Every structure is written in structure tokens, then in C-alpha cells.
Structure 1
Amino acid sequence: MSDERQKPPTGTIRPVSPVVLAVLGIVGLVLGWLVHPLTVELSGSAPVVTWPQPTLLGFVAVALGRFAWDTRASVRDRARRLEPHRAVNRLAFGRAAAYVASVLGGAYAGYALSWVDSRAELASDRVLWSGLAAVASLAVVVCGVLLERACRVRLDDDEA
């Protein structure tokens, strides 16, 4: 029994699945497409997407990318070794960001597509800003996956 307590737990965490990200994006796409007719039916007007949404998502993508870069450097550099609990926290943060941004990106893309053939006054603005928010969400997904991948350590690493 004492031998079991002295052994560190072993195991691996599988990387985020592209299939899961795609399914979440498709769910978001459908939900985003439905926002337009449902909000018009319920409140008489549809939400307006403007510059703050894609800008904020762009800032999040840049921050995640920088965090991934620093994490990768910490994992590779033995002098700045990343503590295991911090690596797991960063991995979870990257994965959560990728999941949420996948749904958001799909939702913004669906909302933009719902306005493509519309002759409404702000339709072109909604398509533009929703499309940019979808692209920025995709950047967040990529940077979240990069952050998750940056937390990988070699199995033969004696300090892992």
C-alpha cells in the first residue's frame, strides 16, 4: 500500500479532437442562423454586430497566442521548467477557449449567412462584422489548440 502512494499518477490527456471542434462549430452555425428569424419574431428587430465583437476576439486570440508561445518556451527550457499543475491549468484553458470559440465562430458565421440575401438596411454591416467575428473566433480556436499543444511533454522526460 505504501508503494502505491509513492508512485506518481501516470496517464495522458488526448489532444482536442478536430471532430469535436467541427461539431461544436456546426451547432453554433445552426444556432447563429436561427438567431435572426427568432429575434425578429420575438422582439421585432435582430441584434446588431459591430466592431467590438471581432476586436475583442482578436485580442483574445493574440493573448492566447502569446501565452502559447511562452508556455512552449517554458516547457522546452529546463531552467524555466513549468510546474505540472500550471501546465494542466494552461492546457485546460486552451481547450476551453478552443471549445467556446468554436461555438462562437459557428454562431457568428451562421448569423452572417442569415443576412446574405437580405435587403434590410443594416444587412451588409451585419454580414461584415459577423463574418469578421467568425474569423477572429477561428483565430481563438487555433491559438487555444496551440496553447494546449504547447503543454505537451516528452514521455521520456524525467521531470514530466
Structure 2
Amino acid sequence: MVSGGTEPGRAPQKEPPEGSVRPTSRRLLVAIAVLGLAIGVTLVKVVEADGGVAPAVSWLTLVAWLFLAALLFVAARNTHQRIQVRRERMDPSRAVFLLMIGKASAFVGALCTGVYAGFALSFVRAIGFSGPRNRVIMAGAAAVISVLVVTAGLLLERACRIPDDPDETP
């Protein structure tokens, strides 16, 4: 249900019809990740300045993010096959639901990528010790997996695009 926008190297397309959704901006995702980075670094500093211990990323978090990324990749593949390859019609409410799941996953994944990267950067200064080293590794792994969630969300969003009608000639 996303109409194609102009991308670098592509000819400008006609304005999308009213009621369509534009593709997610990569710049916006980068801005959200940078905001998340600032949140992650600030959170660690505030907690440690107050005498507390900064939160650590657990294995369960990594598994949950991996599971979410896998589900999104499967949904993107199935949706792409159905809409783009086999050109089957999909119930509009289902297509909008999948589109919004893809967009939301990309936004949340970008924010979490930044937060986890901020956690990792906060402990890099003490990487010589086993505790901070484990925190850097776990937070870094979570940031990488969050990028997978962003990628899968963008693929799902792209799979929801209505294909151009091959019978129509401009």
C-alpha cells in the first residue's frame, strides 16, 4: 500500500495518490538512532552518577529480538511473494496492518539500535575488565540485531507496495 517514491538514481515519479503512505525516510531512521544513542549514553551516566548500576542486556533480550527479526523477515517474504510475485489481492485492512507493523518495527528498531549502541559506548572505556567487556559485547550484539529488525521492517513495508499495473502505459 506504499506508493513508490523517488530514490537516488531513479527518475521522478508522479505524485502518489491521496491516501497513500510514503516510504520510510532513511534520514529519519538515522535521526532516531542518533536520538537513541544519546538516550543510551545519558541513561548510563544518570544511573551511575546516582550510585546505581546501569542495566545490562540479557541473553533473553537477544533471543527475543532475533525472534522478532525472523518473524518480520518471514512476513516480508510471504507478503512480497503474494503481492509482488503472484500478484494476488490482499484484504486492504491486512495490508495496512502489515505496512504499519513494518513501519513501527523500523522506527522502534532504529531507536533501540541507538540505545544499545549508547550502552556499549558507555562501557568501552573499561573494556579491559570482564564485566564491562561483557556489557559491550551484549549491547553491541543487541544493536546489530536491532539493525536486523529495522531491515526486516523496511522489507515488510516495501513488500506492501502496490505493484505498477503492467497493462497501464503512461
In which range does the TM-score fall when normalised by the shorter chain?
0.7 to 0.9
Query: 1:50 aligned to 54, 58, 62, which one?
Result: 58
With 134-143 and 47-56 compared, the bigger mean Cα shift is at: 47-56
Distance 1:113 1:127 in 2: 7
Is the 8 Å Cα contact of residues 68 and 149 (structure 2) preserved in structure 1? yes
With 81-90 and 18-27 compared, the bigger mean Cα shift is at: 81-90
Match of 2:156 in 1: 147
The 5-angstrom pairing of residues 115-130 of structure 1 reads 115-118=123-126, 122-130=131-139
1:81 CA drift (Å): 2.4
Distance 1:57 1:84 in 2: 28
The 5-angstrom pairing of residues 9-158 of structure 1 reads 10-76=18-84, 77-78=86-87, 80-118=88-126, 122-156=131-165
For structure 1, the residue ranges without an aligned partner over 5 or more in a row are 1-8
1:93 CA drift (Å): 0.6
- Paired residue total: 149
Is the 8 Å Cα contact of residues 83 and 163 (structure 2) preserved in structure 1? no
Task: State the identity as a percent.
Answer: 38
User: Closer, same or farther in 2 for the Cα pair 1:156/1:10, shift >3 Å?
Assistant: farther
1:41 CA drift (Å): 2.1
User: Closer, same or farther in 2 for the Cα pair 1:133/1:113, shift >3 Å?
Assistant: same
1:120 CA drift (Å): 5.7
TM-score by length of 1: 0.86
User: Closer, same or farther in 2 for the Cα pair 1:84/1:157, shift >3 Å?
Assistant: farther
Distance 2:55 2:139 in 1: 11
Distance 1:88 1:157 in 2: 23
**Structure with higher helix content:** 1
TM-score by length of 2: 0.81
Distance 1:146 1:56 in 2: 19
CA-based RMSD of the aligned residues comes to 1.9
Distance 2:130 2:151 in 1: 34
1:47 CA drift (Å): 1.1
Distance 2:166 2:101 in 1: 23
